[in-house]
Amino acid sequence: MHNDETRNTRGTQPGPLPHPTRPPEQGGVPPRPAVPPSAPPRPDGTAFLTWLRTSRPEAAPGIWRFGHRSRPRQESERTPGHQLIGGALIAFLVAWLMWSLLSHGYLGGWWVLPVRLLAPDSWQNSDSAVAQALLWDGYSVLIVVLLLVVVGRLGRWGEVWRRYGPPAWRTALPVSERPPAPEEDPAEFYHLRAAGAQEAAERLAREAKAGLMGDVDHARIDRAWQGVRSGRHSLATFTGAVVKDGSAACPHPSGRRDLPVRQARHDLVTGQVRLGATADDPRNPYHYRGTGLGLGPDLLGTSLLAVGPAGSGKTGTLVRPLAESLCLHALAGRASVVVVGAAGAGLGPAESYDVVIRIGQPDSVYDLDLYGGTTDPDEAAVILAEALAGDLADPHPGSDSRRSTTVLAQLLGPFRAVHGRFPSVPELRGLLDGGPGPLNALRKALTGTSHESLLRELDARERQMAHPGDVGSVLADRIALLDRPAFASFFDTSGSTRPFSLKALDHPVRVRVDLPQRGHADASRILARLVLAQFTATVAVREDRSLFACLILDDATGVITPEAVRGIQRLRSANAGAVLTLRTLDDAPRPLRGPLLGTVGCRMALSGLTPWDGQDFAEVWGKEWTETRDVTDRQIIAETPAGKAVHMVRRVITGKAPTARAVTVRQVERERWSASELAHGVPAGHAVLSLTSVRGEHAPPLLVDLRA
């Protein structure tokens, strides 16, 4: 696969004109510049080293680990500031009053009894003023210290110090981390030195300090080193490549080392992309509040479904960052990604991809293989039947498109046996229409050969065509949507071109498929189902499953079928995942909504959701035990005249009758997020997201600010 065809051939824009400078004074010589005017400044590796050395502690699923500081899982009871300061001040005044009463003898002289009993008489009756001062003043200081310790504990002076004193100031200021020890410095590549790749480690360390290495280079070298450890590559080959090319070693087939533009924050050490921050909301667990939200292959491996109306931010705040992150992973040799969306949907520039298939655009460099690159007629029939009639199958989890598969297999097998290829779109339409010409030509070509079984397939197809309700006519109507002048140059099967096939996902390839939504909405849904069917069939039979494969479908309307749900269920075991977005769950058949929400491990409900969609999310997220407090006020009835007078004065002053408050605490089971809260309680730009990792770790539904 050659990627040079997708490069931008337009010329670069001229640079800005230099600023005019004053001519040198008479007799003066202008100073010589340190570097040529066109030379860029020398790189500096400080930023890269700071990024590489930043701590990334283990954290719960979804927490942005770059520079994360863990918090306790439970929130400690926090006293209000005014109450804390008031209590500390009152405790100080009490200590002052107690010492004043003691020192002036208002409470008697009992507090000096320990000195009278324990100190020698020679000390007490000494004529030395110094001895008397040391004895009595020292004892007074001891009493003051004990008094301050007691009232300090009662007034919680320690908490005041921690909250408002220098410890709080140091916490608020950015903490510069201590430089790591040489054997723990990731910029020294000691894991390579320990394995015997001393020269490679030296070359990489020099380039990291000189600013010649980027985060993609570091991830790509790390991926190549994993290949050495797993035995796919030899240590000598790896060392030779790194010593020769440095951080540019083991390149991506495209030769690129970064994307032309980034819009999101990425951390390729952990593989995460930051999508926002969890809100500081009581409904979020305490250790999640205020932390960054990061998603990576460990979470996308369980697949993700995002539901939200148009304009809620699905493409800009979710699809585009995830596509950008997976493209970076592909450049590092870790992943392969297929992004499917409408033309002009803002899925990233064409330069960020190796293959851009613009279906319906005459200037498209690449074509799409209608049959998924397979040579087996039965396999091709399964994929094509799902694309053409998968949405027409009975919308229940156990149903399938077996009848459509049988019809296509009865035609694809004989055609390939005669022509050595699969039929083009017009040829397949002619066969499905049941005209006598194409079928008679196939029969004539197969007569007298050793393909008697294929002749029986044709006979069965002709008999089924005579019965009412034959699915062949439905398939013919669906394939006619692709037999349009706009698609005349696509789906070539003659062999003169080489259409792109998703079998290339064995390699770290970046693919974008632009669907012709404008004017060809039905054809776009067929093509989206085709790509999803090819993806689920291809990733399940890959030889190297260490490469993460992901399909991002910007609009999955009309794509959710029983076979699609089953295919998504199998992705997790194949180290693959899918990201699907819907405007509403009504775009999926009602019987499939529950299985779909149960299949994906990550579920996102964006703001603006309808109560009906919120009900489905509320059911799948279930309930939890929570503590509730019921407060009741009971009016106090005075029985004595004095009590009644006090109550009357209190009512005149406060305007309320005297009451006694009773608090009842109990454990109740309630929904994590109700349908009403999802529909009306999620602010604009926010979403509620639950996560599941491939290791089985869970994160409860979190309120996330996607704009943070």
For residue 162, what are its two tokens? Answer: 């921690």
Q: Are 323 and 348 in contact (CB under 8 A)?
A: yes
Structure tokens at 80: 């209000």
Q: How many C-beta neighbours within 10 Å does residue 559 have? A: 24
Asked if residues 302 and 602 have their Cβ atoms less than 8 Å apart, the reply is yes
**What separation in angstroms does the CA of 251 have from each of 191, 242, 255, 467?**
21, 11, 6, 58
**DSSP code of 136?**
I
Please state, in angstroms and rounded to a whole number, the distance separating the CA atoms of residues 539 and 578: 11
Question: SS3 for 171-226, per residue?
Answer: HHCCCCCCCCCHHHCHHHCHHHHHCCCHHHHHHHHHHHHHCCCCHHHHHHHHHHHH
pLDDT of residue 682: 94
Q: What is the gyration radius of the CA atoms in the chain, in angstroms?
A: 37
Q: What is the mean pLDDT of each run of 10 residues along the chain (708 residues)?
A: 37 35 45 49 77 92 93 68 83 85 76 72 68 72 84 83 76 54 83 91 93 94 92 91 93 94 94 95 91 96 96 93 97 96 90 94 91 91 92 70 88 91 92 85 83 85 84 91 91 86 92 91 94 94 90 94 94 95 94 94 95 94 84 80 79 75 82 93 94 94 94
> What gap in Å lies between CA 121 and CA 119, rounded to an integer?
7
Is residue 88 a contact partner of residue 157, using CB atoms and an 8 Å limit? yes
- Ramachandran assignment for 130, one of left (phi > 0), alpha (psi -120 to 50 degrees), beta (any other): alpha
pLDDT computed for residue 38 by the predictor: 43
Instruction: Give every CB contact of residue 383 below 8 A, 6+ residues apart in sequence.
Output: 371, 372, 374, 530, 533, 534, 537
HEC per residue, 301-328:
CCCEEEECCCCCCHHHHHHHHHHHHHHH
pTM attached to this predicted model:
0.81
Sign of CA dihedral 697, 700, 702, 706: positive
Res 446: pLDDT: 85
H/E stretch holding 367 reads none
Element containing residue 372 per DSSP (H, E): none
CA distance 596 to 585: 10
Work out the angle between the directed axes of helices 235-245 and 215-230 (0-180°, nearest 10): 160
pLDDT at 576: 96
The whole-angstrom separation of Cα 375 and Cα 408 is: 14
Which backbone phi and psi does 164 adopt, to 5 degrees?
-120, -5
- Structure confidence at residue 331 (pLDDT): 96
pLDDT of amino acid 3: 41
Spatial separation of the C-alpha atoms in residues 571 and 80, rounded to whole Å:
50
Angle at 535 between CA 533 and CA 539, to 5 degrees: 130
Distance, CA of 205 to CA of 213 (rounded, Å) = 9
